[in-house]
Structure 1
Amino acid sequence: MQKRLFILLLDALFLPMLLWASLSLGKNEVMFPHAGEWWIFPLALAISFPVFINFGLYRAVLRYFRNQTISAILLSTLITTIIWAITVKVTGMADLTKSGVILYWLSTFTFIAGSRLQIQQWLYGTNNDNKTSRKRVYIYGAGESGTKLAALLDGDPAYVVEGFIDDNASLRGWNMLGFDVQSYDKTAATLMNAPENTEVIIAMPSIDREERQFIIERLEPFPVKVRIIPAIEDFASGNFRVSDIKDIDIDDLLGREPVSPDKQLLPANIHGKTVLISGAGGSIGSELCRQALNLRPKKLVLLELSEFALYKIEQELNEILSSMHFSVEIERVLGSSGDITLLDKLFSRNEIQTVYHAAAYKHVPLVEENSVAGIKNNVFGTKTLAEKSLASKVETFILISTDKAVRPTNVMGCTKRIAEMVLQSLANSKNCETTFSMVRFGNVLGSSGSVVPKFRQQIADGGPITVTHKEITRYFMSIPEAVQLVIQAGAMAKGGDVFVLDMGESVKITDLATKMISLAGLQLKDQYNPDGDIEVKYSGLRPGEKLYEELLIGDNVSGTKHSRIMQANEEFLSKSQLEVLLKNLQNTLTDDNLDEIKKSLTKIVSGYTPWENTANNDSAISNDDKGKVIPIKKSYPV
């Protein structure tokens, strides 16, 4: 405020002096105003101040002079001079000469620009116009959001706005807020040779995911960091800050445009009911809690083995509830889904109607090294909870399964397939009043143990990124989409259903790694580019890992009323057959003999081939084998 007042007083002092000097020079004689002519001086100030304020010349002093700053000064001084000259001429206050008026405009412009520049240098030093320490920004999209962003960044000393990129032919060649609008093709050459700290910010919040992916892929070859403004409702709220600009997340590339949920399926098993969610603090379990809460259950029972995870999700749910106009009772239960004593007490005090069983050990190499723990939790934990649900006449039981259950080469996948078989056998037993179903899908983005956060951290640490095998592929889906589909699939179940989510197309992990490097504004370091920033190294497949994952055991699959949910028809063992085999498996666990354990597993799951018996473990890959940076390929369709 003090700076603004100082500048205003400075103008009030010097503008009349400049006016007097200009009029004197215009007449080639010293001007001695008559009585009525004195009014031209306060008139000049009365006209100048509102115009200058409107053009922002009395805002806080900017650290940097920009083209639009000069343009604003040039235009505002021209307008004030014209208005002043016309007013004086019409009222007859004084006799003016054309040269005097022009001199007044030029001297005013020179003084305003020079004084601001001098004050800026006094306050911030003479070297602050050095762009090397500032981020150069190109804004992709010259619409309303883009121009708002440009105005915001223009006032931030950390940025230099270089211009707009927009393929709208009607905008081409325009100048918006002092910045040129150029097409992508015209800007490409500049971006290819962009300096180190250059960014492109996508300012098109209303475009769909496919259009956004197209833009991101266009920018990928350039050595620039790509970022994006938040959703249009966030930007339009007016509370947007520079810190709200977010990095392009790999979710934006791997995720899909969401399909509108079936309004009848979503609430069917949740609204007004008591819902138990096991593994409530995990990646899938916690999202199940969030979405279930929005569907207004009567009560949510959170079963979780991790104390911290249970505390965290309960706190989050209470925070969500505080902003809602309804209440939901939440019960926290710390313990395992395989603890029958705990389950007896839990079910006796709650009339549970729906169970979502998300509790599982799912990290493939860890479960491979700790097979006994994995089997106890994933197989017998599921069996205990399912049988207790059946005995308590739970209406619906939905198991969260995995694509690794299909022709498994690891203990984790094998245990999940057995868990599926447990539910299938119960569903086909006599007098079963519980609708058992399972939903099978691949990797979810951002889950614990996912490659995406791991790669992100490795990039932040300067590399290298470690990939197990150059040919390894995986399916990916966002956690919210997966959970929404799980809820809808469970509502379609009739008993013993194996639902398979449409995961889209599988992704080559090497391509995922190189794409994440590019989005960070860095370059892949390899034999083709030895001066690059981040190297990708291959470590070989870990115990239990497969190159490719599958979603179906056979080809016997049918559609459902939902376009992204399929139903598999797969063989399973009867309850009596499975009981004998599980009894034998349980006996092998006491001896902790891994060979015997795996033999028992092969007798239960016919498609299970232990990893050490496959060719997958011959996986050492030379780093010289890496290819060039290529886009994520869409292959291996479901």
Structure 2
Amino acid sequence: MEKAKNRKRFSLNDNVLYLADFKFLPRWVILIIDLFIILVSILISHLLILNLHVSHYRIFPLSYVFLFVIGVNVLYMYIFKTYLGVIRHSTFVDLFKIFTANICSILTVIAVNYIYYLGTGEKVVLIPFLGLYFAISCLLLFVFRLFVKGIFNIVKENKRSASRKKIYILGDDDTSVAIAQVILSNPNLPFDIRGFISYHDKKVNIKLLDRKILTKADFISQLKNSKIDVSGVLVIKEALQKDDLDFWVNVFLENNLKIYKSPNMQKLRSKEIINNLKTIQIEDLLNRKPIKLDNTEVKKRHFQKTVLVTGGAGSIGKEIVRQVALLEPMQIIILDQSETPLYDTELEMKELYPDINFKFILADISNYSRLEPIFKKYQFSMVYHAAAYKHVPLVEENPHEAVLVNVLGTKNLSLLACKYKVNRFVMVSTDKAVNPTNVMGASKRVAELFVQSLQNYENNSTKFITTRFGNVLGSNGSVIPHFRKQIEKGGPVTITHPNIVRYFMTIAEACELVLHAGTMGTGGEIYVFDMGDPVKILDLAKRMIKLSGLEPNDDIKIIYTGLRPGEKLYEELLSDNAKTLPTSHEKIMISKDPSMHFSEIDELTELVISYSKKEEKQEIVKVLKCIVKEFKSNNSIYESLDQ
């Protein structure tokens, strides 16, 4: 009773919902409807025969003849189970069953007709009438099923469209159409595709998948006139050049449209399609085309070799491990001093690469006696040294810790690599080591100088190679995750200076450089990478806020906190007096920085390490400035030492 009352109060939309959710008609109801359709077909065929001025045979009353035809047809409907299918899911198989049942019934009637004719010389049924009946009954039975299927689809689409996000797809090529087809065929996706935006300005009077195509000019014009009733646009990032992507992103953001990034077709067809269709991120807009080098030599260098990665639980180290794991090494030793990240890395790597022999070691690289048994036991072929302290303000306040890890740690590892004849030692450095203005950059430059000096050390057979690059997207402590957290909290977004700029590259790209440098190097080189154009951090913050659907300074405030100790407005990849040499790849260069003799750098590093163990900050920085002549402190308590 209560259900009946509730249903009376339902609106039209609620009734549509019930129709869309209705499972299926009982089989006997479908059979009755089919019976009614063939009765109508009989009547229509009879009327057509009369209008053609053709007379039926009158051997038996017409009603008996019609009942005989209907009876035979119903018999074959039962045999072929034409009424068992769910009508809204009708397919070619269901239609073929109807056709087969009808053709069999007609052939049976014709056979009976001629058998009777052979016995009596009289015919019972008019053959043209059977032909008309066959055509009309098939047509009406087909139309009934297709009509019901169409109605259900329309109702279902209307029901889903109400809660779906209306979007356009940027592009009208084969890839765009294929992606649209996958989205339209997936009822779980929350998108309603309204049309396609052409890359070109030439108008076409055609539709794709029954959706309109707008030219670039038309789309922008309609946006300005507020005639576009959509909430977002799906972008196929791989199909666009960076300049084109920037143009379109600016257009969409200025008009408050959400920007969705399409995954590649392989992921789009997977069961995880819903998780793969995400809003575009700032990393997608900063990405450059990754360098592509011949991996043959890289694989040869690592295949069935034992590899050590220090700092292997960090963002850079972990990506090095992932890429090395793909090269089928004999064993990968992952060393880090951070317990929880190392454990998390162990779980991840064993799940991703179950066939790789991993060893996870908790150790501090400043402890020589802890490291030597490891080198002695495993006899490494390659060492990737990514362990370091890198946060500028923290290191500025704790220079002794920077020296113990960045200088002493590197010294320990490189000396052991030389002693145990490691084939190649690859150090991960930073652009902050160039003309450093902070302790962190200076400590990394000292580490570079020590590693370089070992190349010409007596009886050395190890090739010591350094790689130097800028900020890495998504790495631990980088600015983008920091901004993202601030935006999620409602702001404000904090920037140290409105004019600060930085170079960016992806983690995968940075590690690809590291691996290739380890292969290309002959020893003593500092490899630098073409980082592209620097990015203004203020513009980066504004774009991230807009990508979140908010307005800078209206919804999310931007405040300036002032340069932090040791921070500078821009980073450099090459020192002023360095010479750059080309390599076999146009994007990778060799920086020929001034080097030091081993005895000289060894003596100075021992001095700065001894001060570090006593935590004598001023003396530590004095020695660092003595080693790195170009080290000039900026916005730091150590500026007085430069005078």
TM-score normalised by the chain length of structure 1: 0.77
Residues 1:101 and 1:386: Cα distance change in structure 2 (over 3 Å): closer
User: Are residue 465 (structure 1) and residue 499 (structure 2) matched?
Assistant: no
The answer for the alignment partner of 2:567 in structure 1 is 545
| Alpha carbons 1:37, 1:94 under 8 Å: kept | no
Q: Following the alignment from structure 1 to structure 2, what is the Cα–Cα distance between the partners of residues 306 and 207?
A: 41
User: Are residue 524 (structure 1) and residue 551 (structure 2) matched?
Assistant: yes
User: Are residue 230 (structure 1) and residue 263 (structure 2) matched?
Assistant: yes
Pairing of 1:74-113 with structure 2 (within 5 A): 91-93=128-130
| Alpha carbons 2:466, 2:527 under 8 Å: kept | yes
Tell me which of 502, 505, 508 is aligned to 2:533.
505
User: Are residue 219 (structure 1) and residue 249 (structure 2) matched?
Assistant: no
The answer for the alignment partner of 1:483 in structure 2 is 511
Pairing of 1:134-533 with structure 2 (within 5 A): 134-154=164-184, 155-156=187-188, 158-167=190-199, 172-191=204-223, 193=226, 198-203=231-236, 215-235=248-268, 239=271, 241-267=273-299, 269-322=301-354, 328-520=356-548, 522-526=549-553, 530=554, 533=555
Q: Following the alignment from structure 1 to structure 2, what is the Cα–Cα distance between the partners of residues 58 and 536?
A: 55
Q: Following the alignment from structure 1 to structure 2, what is the Cα–Cα distance between the partners of residues 347 and 108?
A: 75
Cα shift at 1:474: 0.7
Residues 1:250 and 1:130: Cα distance change in structure 2 (over 3 Å): closer
Cα shift at 1:35: 3.4
Aligned residues: 574
Letter of the 2:389 counterpart: Y
In structure 2, stretches of 5+ residues that fail to align are 1-19, 51-61, 108-125
Pairing of 1:105-144 with structure 2 (within 5 A): 131=162, 133-144=163-174
* Deviations 1:342-389, CA, capped at 9 Å, x for gaps: 112112212122211100011112212222212211111111111122
| Alpha carbons 1:426, 1:432 under 8 Å: kept | yes
Cα shift at 1:442: 0.4
Q: Following the alignment from structure 2 to structure 1, what is the Cα–Cα distance between the partners of residues 274 and 369?
A: 53
The answer for the alignment partner of 2:89 in structure 1 is 58
Q: Following the alignment from structure 1 to structure 2, what is the Cα–Cα distance between the partners of residues 300 and 547?
A: 39
| Alpha carbons 2:252, 2:259 under 8 Å: kept | yes
Residues 1:230 and 1:609: Cα distance change in structure 2 (over 3 Å): same
Cα shift at 1:156: 3.8
Q: Following the alignment from structure 1 to structure 2, what is the Cα–Cα distance between the partners of residues 224 and 514?
A: 16
* Deviations 1:189-224, CA, capped at 9 Å, x for gaps: 445648998121124756666765565455343311
Residues 1:367 and 1:90: Cα distance change in structure 2 (over 3 Å): farther
Tell me which of 545, 550, 561 is aligned to 2:584.
561
Q: Following the alignment from structure 2 to structure 1, what is the Cα–Cα distance between the partners of residues 330 and 246?
A: 40
Cα shift at 1:5: 3.4
Q: Following the alignment from structure 1 to structure 2, what is the Cα–Cα distance between the partners of residues 194 and 414?
A: 57
Cα shift at 1:335: 0.6
Structure 1 SS opposite 2:254: coil
Letter of the 2:585 counterpart: H
| Alpha carbons 1:206, 1:231 under 8 Å: kept | no
* Deviations 1:573-629, CA, capped at 9 Å, x for gaps: 32232233323323432443433332222112111112235999xxxxxxxxxxxxx
User: Are residue 589 (structure 1) and residue 612 (structure 2) matched?
Assistant: yes
Q: Following the alignment from structure 1 to structure 2, what is the Cα–Cα distance between the partners of residues 454 and 195?
A: 34
Letter of the 1:226 counterpart: I
The answer for the alignment partner of 2:24 in structure 1 is 5
User: Between the two proteins, what is the percent identity of the paired residues?
Assistant: 32
Cα shift at 1:241: 2.4
In structure 1, stretches of 5+ residues that fail to align are 61-75, 122-126, 617-638
| Alpha carbons 1:304, 1:335 under 8 Å: kept | yes
- Larger deviation: 422-431 or 445-454? 422-431
Cα shift at 1:470: 1.4
Letter of the 2:350 counterpart: N
Residues 1:153 and 1:297: Cα distance change in structure 2 (over 3 Å): closer
The answer for the alignment partner of 1:68 in structure 2 is none
Letter of the 1:6 counterpart: L
Structure 1 SS opposite 2:568: coil
Tell me which of 577, 580, 583 is aligned to 2:600.
577
* Deviations 1:419-476, CA, capped at 9 Å, x for gaps: 0011122223333222212111101111001112222333333333322221111111
TM-score normalised by the chain length of structure 2: 0.77
User: Are residue 606 (structure 1) and residue 629 (structure 2) matched?
Assistant: yes
Structure 2 SS opposite 1:160: strand
Letter of the 1:559 counterpart: P
| Alpha carbons 1:213, 1:252 under 8 Å: kept | no
Residues 1:19 and 1:265: Cα distance change in structure 2 (over 3 Å): same
Structure 1 SS opposite 2:534: strand
Larger relative helix fraction: 2
Cα shift at 1:15: 5.8
Cα shift at 1:136: 1.5
Q: Following the alignment from structure 1 to structure 2, what is the Cα–Cα distance between the partners of residues 91 and 215?
A: 64
| Alpha carbons 2:201, 2:217 under 8 Å: kept | no
| Alpha carbons 1:137, 1:159 under 8 Å: kept | yes
- Larger deviation: 480-489 or 544-553? 480-489
Structure 2 SS opposite 1:267: helix
Structure 1 SS opposite 2:195: strand
Letter of the 1:550 counterpart: E
Q: Following the alignment from structure 1 to structure 2, what is the Cα–Cα distance between the partners of residues 553 and 194?
A: 54
Residues 1:39 and 1:297: Cα distance change in structure 2 (over 3 Å): same
* Deviations 1:280-327, CA, capped at 9 Å, x for gaps: 1111111111111222222222111112222233333333433xxxx5
Cα shift at 1:11: 5.1
Letter of the 2:387 counterpart: A
Structure 1 SS opposite 2:24: helix
Structure 2 SS opposite 1:6: coil
Cα shift at 1:569: 1.2
Structure 1 SS opposite 2:350: helix
Cα shift at 1:278: 0.7
Structure 2 SS opposite 1:455: helix
Cα shift at 1:413: 0.7
Structure 2 SS opposite 1:505: coil
Residues 1:94 and 1:285: Cα distance change in structure 2 (over 3 Å): closer
Structure 1 SS opposite 2:635: helix
Q: Following the alignment from structure 1 to structure 2, what is the Cα–Cα distance between the partners of residues 152 and 424?
A: 55
Letter of the 1:186 counterpart: D
Letter of the 2:444 counterpart: K
Cα shift at 1:93: 3.3
| Alpha carbons 1:297, 1:328 under 8 Å: kept | yes
Residues 1:599 and 1:40: Cα distance change in structure 2 (over 3 Å): farther
- Larger deviation: 169-178 or 375-384? 169-178
